[in-house]
Amino acid sequence: MRDGQRDGSGEPGGPARRRGQGELEAQVLSALRAAPEPVPAGWVRERLGGTLAYTTVITILTRLRAKGVVTRQRAGRSFAWTAASDEAGLAAHRMRRVLDAEADREAVLTSFVSSLPARDEELLRRLLREAGADGGLGEESEGRGR
């Protein structure tokens, strides 16, 4: 939790305000992951030091739920929250959104392989077959066809 404040703008003056939404999401998620059982939002707020407004915590929990990384269940008149995935799951969700937003992302992010037209696929398989390097490639293609 302390780390989060240091990660922000680094200014000691503005504690919670300066933290970006993304960072808050990560903090709420890691707090929830430390919970032994489904916990109410107030527990998360306490765990984060109590500086955040209760509604902020609810907003972030709701947003995390939309991303599928936390779940909730009825507990009396309110909800009890559980982490459904770890920080990597949250990052994966966000990353997918970045990748979807950038149609031409290969101009910026170097990727391991570029997209493969259909005609290249056959060529690729033939190349590997001829070189005798197709360990496991043939079976896989059959499995895919079924």
Partner 1 sequence: MGVFVFLPLVLPLTAWPIARLAEHRLHPRVATRLLSAVAAVLGLCSSLCLALLAIVGTAQLPGNPLPDAWADPEVRAAVPHDEVIGKAAVAALAAAAASCAALLLRHVRVRRRTARALRGLPGAQVAVLPDELPYAHTLPGRGRAGRVLVSTGMLAGLTSGERRVLFAHERAHLAGRHHRHLLLAGLAARANPFLRPLRTAVAYTVERWADEEAARAVGDRRITARAVAKAALVSRPTPAPVLAGLAAEPGPVPRRVAALLGPAPAVRAWPPLFTTVGMAVWTAAAGAVVSAMSSANSAVTMFLILRAATPL
With tokens 């696929």, the residue in question is 121
Burial 48-78 (b: 16+ CB within 10 A, else e): beeebeeebbbbbbeebeebebbebeeeeee
d(CA 39, CA 144): 43
Tell me if 108 contacts partner 1 by CB under 8 A: yes
Tell me if 103 contacts partner 1 by CB under 8 A: no
Q: Which residues contact 137 (CB under 8 A, 6 or more apart)?
A: 125, 128
Tell me if 23 contacts partner 1 by CB under 8 A: yes
Q: What is the footprint of partner 1 within residues 114-143 (CB under 8 A)? A: 114-121, 123-125, 127-128, 131, 133-137, 140-141
Supply the minimum distance, in Å, between the C-beta of residue 78 and partner 1: 26
Among the listed residues 55, 113, 143, 146, the single contact to partner 1 using CB under 8 A: 113
Whether 41 contacts 51, CB under 8 Å: no
HSE, side-chain direction, 13 A CA sphere, residue 54 = 4
Among the listed residues 22, 42, 50, 138, the single contact to partner 1 using CB under 8 A: 22
Supply the minimum distance, in Å, between the C-beta of residue 138 and partner 1: 12
Tell me if 99 contacts partner 1 by CB under 8 A: yes
In the complex, the residues that contact partner 1 under the rule CB under 8 A are 7, 20, 22-23, 25-27, 29-30, 85, 87-92, 94-99, 101-102, 104-105, 107-121, 123-125, 127-128, 131, 133-137, 140-141
